[in-house]
């Protein structure tokens, strides 16, 4: 297919195209390209479509992106089909088709021929569920081409609640699971690179300098979403704060051109527009009529409207380069969503030097830091780097540093390093920082596993162990709040576990006996501060008990002759028991 290029691809766009071609020449595995918002994904798509020798389909979830991607391709002087009810076109005749997933999924039989490549823009929206619209279209395409190549593009390849959209990364680490919708990330460009090289506008994050909203008392679900009712209740008691915040936004925006305000709820958004200049303000929500929404967005892009307020609808598929103020008045626990929001203001525009970013919801995200890969356990956690003792890979987990910058706690489970054998086969490092040990064979399993991956035996449920112990008269359960170590005799180490009420129970390890020392190492080697090598402690004098992590629960049984004897220690507990006396 021919066409005269009117755009010169940037070096990273050329590299993304080259990596895609190289990948699909050697593999049918689905692939992902990660480019920041404003990096020009549509140009990468257009170039791949130009180079295609067979029919290809470019699919996304909103009509604005369908139209935008099609226009970039057609600007080369090439003709494409568009299949989108929202754009009032349903055509599949040309070699390249730009389509909305909703329209194709509702007319699945319209796909009746061979396609060599499927490109999915904003692919973080793809679900691996068989009954999803994306999977329905993919299944139909594979009826005509079992070796269908699938390429996804996104700025944010992670979603709270569903995880990473790809399994492994070309830099040599694992992100998602075997069930992730895409197999491999084949190219990624960090936001910092884009700004440093002048491809995006620098964000200028400033202190709100007025009363902030405090959403910290609210609880989000697994997807990082907050209850609308809870947010409305909190916001209704903060109307003075809202008025003060909007006055601050207006003041900051005096010499600015385009202001996007991200509200928490519809009720909140309607309150906000009441404080803004009526002739310069518009509101877009999920229920806004499509034609009205198109007119509002067009007026905003023509700069007839200065303040555009929205509720969760303009975070993707929206391109207005003149935006130079981003005001965030909503909470989120997702770095990806935060990056999408800020990304609306980072596109280049003539005369634009920076984009003011003001977070009135105290989300406290580092715009340049990637997703950790799980929901933040506590508000005082931050991303920490944890080196794997097995392969040396630098994992990024939620955790805590001490004042000297040492990791004192982290919530990682398994090393994410990707190892390659002599034949080029890749496998995830099997080192586990937190694990559930099989009582039958001693194998280490994920702490959520119910069956041993090694011997197949059903793993004992920690809650069952606790429940059984709590129901026995001669058993004691301590919800451990700490431990201490004491050398009681040459080579004899006494470890005492205690709870907040003063109850305690102890056990003794004889370092003169290899079996006892091995038992100590087995118990604590992976339950200590990062970088501590318990295996190197061959003498009692070398043991530093302050570096050991206490178990969550200790179970002991009373022996007629020897008193309380520890029978079980539960580390990394995530069950329903929060205190030992509750069943």
- Domain residue limits at 424: 394-433
Instruction: Based on the fold, state whether residues 106 and 162 are members of the same structural domain.
Output: yes
Mean pLDDT calculated for residue range 64-71: 91
What's the pLDDT band for 220 if we cut at 50, 70, 90? low
| 170-174, 175-179, 352-356: segment of lowest average pLDDT | 175-179
Q: Looking at the 3D structure of the chain, how many domains does it have?
A: 4
Instruction: Based on the fold, state whether residues 232 and 260 are members of the same structural domain.
Output: yes
Q: At what angle do helices 239-252 and 228-236 cross, to 10 degrees?
A: 90
pLDDT tens readout for residues 298-319:
999 999 999 999 998 876 667 7
Maximal CA-CA distance, the chain: 91
Write out the DSSP string of 166-179.
Answer: EEEETTTEE-S-TT
Instruction: Based on the fold, state whether residues 249 and 322 are members of the same structural domain.
Output: yes
Alpha helices, DSSP H only, in 344-482? Answer: 462-470
pLDDT tens readout for residues 315-364:
666 778 999 999 999 988 777 788 888 989 999 999 999 999 999 988 87
What's the pLDDT band for 578 if we cut at 50, 70, 90? low
Mean pLDDT calculated for residue range 80-106: 94
Instruction: Based on the fold, state whether residues 27 and 168 are members of the same structural domain.
Output: yes
Task: Report percent pLDDT > 90 for the chain.
Answer: 44
Is the CA virtual torsion 268, 274, 276, 277 positive or negative?
A: positive
Instruction: Based on the fold, state whether residues 398 and 353 are members of the same structural domain.
Output: no
Instruction: Based on the fold, state whether residues 424 and 484 are members of the same structural domain.
Output: no
* Domain edge (last residue) among 334, 359, 384: 359
Examine residue 503 and state whether it is found in any structural domain, yes or no: yes
Average model confidence (pLDDT) across the chain: 86
Instruction: Based on the fold, state whether residues 51 and 117 are members of the same structural domain.
Output: yes
Nearest C-alpha neighbor of 96 from the set 66, 122, 125:
66
Write down the pLDDT at residue 446: 81
Q: pTM for this structure?
A: 0.73
* Domain edge (last residue) among 338, 359, 380: 359
In angstroms, the CA 524 to CA 529 distance is: 10
- pLDDT above 90 for 131: no
* Domain edge (last residue) among 359, 378, 402: 359
Examine residue 479 and state whether it is found in any structural domain, yes or no: yes
Examine residue 438 and state whether it is found in any structural domain, yes or no: no
Write down the pLDDT at residue 277: 94
CATH code, 41: 3.40.50.300
Place of tokens 């390093």: 417
Nearest C-alpha neighbor of 245 from the set 211, 276, 196, 291:
211
Examine residue 55 and state whether it is found in any structural domain, yes or no: yes
Nearest C-alpha neighbor of 547 from the set 537, 539, 538:
537
Examine residue 448 and state whether it is found in any structural domain, yes or no: no
Which residues contact residue 252 at a Cβ distance below 8 angstroms, ignoring those fewer than 6 apart?
206, 325, 356, 358
Instruction: Based on the fold, state whether residues 249 and 109 are members of the same structural domain.
Output: no
Instruction: Based on the fold, state whether residues 162 and 280 are members of the same structural domain.
Output: no
Instruction: Based on the fold, state whether residues 481 and 425 are members of the same structural domain.
Output: no
Collapsing DSSP to helix, strand or coil, 34 comes out as: strand
Collapsing DSSP to helix, strand or coil, 337 comes out as: helix
Write down the pLDDT at residue 579: 46
Examine residue 4 and state whether it is found in any structural domain, yes or no: no
Alpha helices, DSSP H only, in 126-205? Answer: 133-144, 191-196
**Which string of b and e fits 174-197 if b means at least 16 CB within 10 Å?**
bbbeeebbbbbbbbbbebeebbee
Nearest C-alpha neighbor of 552 from the set 572, 575, 533:
572
Examine residue 381 and state whether it is found in any structural domain, yes or no: no
Mean pLDDT calculated for residue range 242-262: 93
Nearest C-alpha neighbor of 340 from the set 380, 382, 312, 372:
312
Instruction: Based on the fold, state whether residues 262 and 290 are members of the same structural domain.
Output: yes
Mean pLDDT calculated for residue range 262-278: 92
In angstroms, the CA 246 to CA 174 distance is: 43
In angstroms, the CA 50 to CA 44 distance is: 10
Q: At what angle do helices 11-26 and 41-51 cross, to 10 degrees?
A: 50
Instruction: Based on the fold, state whether residues 270 and 323 are members of the same structural domain.
Output: yes
pLDDT tens readout for residues 446-504:
877 778 888 888 887 788 888 888 888 888 999 998 899 999 988 999 999 999 888 89
Distances (CA, A) of 3 to 14, 53, 260: 17, 14, 37
**Which string of b and e fits 273-286 if b means at least 16 CB within 10 Å?**
bebbeeeebbbbbe
Examine residue 261 and state whether it is found in any structural domain, yes or no: yes
């Amino acid at each position: 297919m021919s066409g005269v290029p009117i755009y010169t691809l940037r070096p990273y766009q050329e590299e993304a195209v080259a990596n895609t071609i190289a990948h699909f020449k050697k593999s049918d595995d689905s692939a992902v390209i990660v480019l920041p918002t404003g990096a020009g994904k549509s140009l990468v798509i257009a170039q791949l479509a130009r180079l295609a020798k067979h029919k290809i389909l470019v699919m996304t979830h909103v009509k604005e992106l369908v139209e935008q991607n099609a226009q970039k391709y057609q600007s080369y002087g090439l003709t494409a089909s568009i299949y989108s009810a929202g754009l009032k076109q349903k055509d599949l005749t040309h070699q390249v088709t730009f389509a909305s997933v909703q329209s194709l999924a509702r007319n699945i039989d319209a796909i009746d021929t061979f396609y060599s490549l499927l490109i999915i823009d904003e692919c973080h929206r793809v679900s691996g569920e068989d009954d999803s619209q994306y999977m329905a279209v993919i299944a139909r395409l594979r009826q005509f081409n079992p070796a269908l190549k699938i390429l996804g593009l996104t700025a944010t390849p992670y979603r709270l609640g569903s995880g990473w959209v790809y399994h492994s990364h070309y830099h040599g680490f694992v992100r998602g699971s075997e069930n992730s919708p895409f197999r491999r990330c084949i190219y990624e460009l960090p936001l910092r690179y884009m700004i440093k090289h002048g491809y995006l506008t620098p964000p200028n994050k400033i202190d709100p300098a007025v009363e902030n909203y405090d959403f910290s008392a609210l609880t989000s679900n697994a997807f990082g979403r907050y209850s609308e009712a809870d947010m409305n209740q909190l916001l209704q008691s903060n109307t003075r704060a809202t008025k003060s915040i909007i006055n601050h936004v207006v003041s900051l925006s005096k010499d600015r051109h385009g202001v996007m305000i991200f509200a928490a709820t519809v009720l909140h958004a309607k309150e906000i527009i009441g404080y803004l200049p009526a002739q310069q303000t518009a509101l877009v929500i999920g229920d806004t009529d499509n034609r009205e929404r198109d007119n509002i967005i067009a007026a905003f892009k023509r700069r007839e409207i200065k303040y555009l307020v929205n509720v969760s609808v303009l975070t993707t598929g929206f391109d207005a380069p003149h935006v130079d103020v981003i005001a965030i008045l909503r909470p989120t626990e997702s770095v990806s969503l935060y990056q999408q929001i800020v990304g609306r203001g980072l596109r280049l525009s003539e005369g634009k030097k920076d984009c003011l970013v003001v977070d009135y919801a105290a989300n406290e995200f580092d715009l340049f830091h990637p997703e950790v890969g799980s929901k933040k356990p506590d508000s005082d956690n931050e991303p920490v780097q944890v080196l794997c003792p097995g392969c040396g890979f630098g994992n990024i987990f939620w955790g805590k540093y001490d004042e000297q910058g040492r990791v004192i706690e982290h919530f990682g489970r398994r090393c994410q390093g990707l190892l390659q054998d002599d034949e080029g086969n890749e496998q995830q490092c099997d080192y586990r920082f937190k694990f559930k040990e099989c009582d039958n064979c001693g194998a280490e399993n994920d702490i959520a596993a119910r069956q041993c991956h090694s011997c197949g035996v059903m793993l004992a449920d920690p809650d069952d162990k606790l429940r059984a112990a709590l129901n026995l008269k001669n058993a004691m359960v301590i919800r451990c709040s700490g431990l201490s170590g004491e050398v009681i005799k040459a080579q004899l180490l006494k470890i005492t576990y205690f709870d907040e009420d003063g109850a305690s129970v102890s056990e003794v390890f004889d370092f003169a006996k290899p079996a006892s020392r091995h038992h100590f190492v087995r118990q604590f080697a992976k339950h200590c501060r990062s970088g501590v090598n318990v295996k190197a402690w061959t003498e009692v004098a070398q043991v530093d008990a302050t570096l050991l992590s206490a178990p969550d629960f200790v179970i002991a049984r009373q022996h007629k002759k020897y008193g309380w004897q520890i029978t079980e220690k539960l580390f990394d507990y995530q069950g329903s028991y929060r205190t030992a006396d509750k069943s």
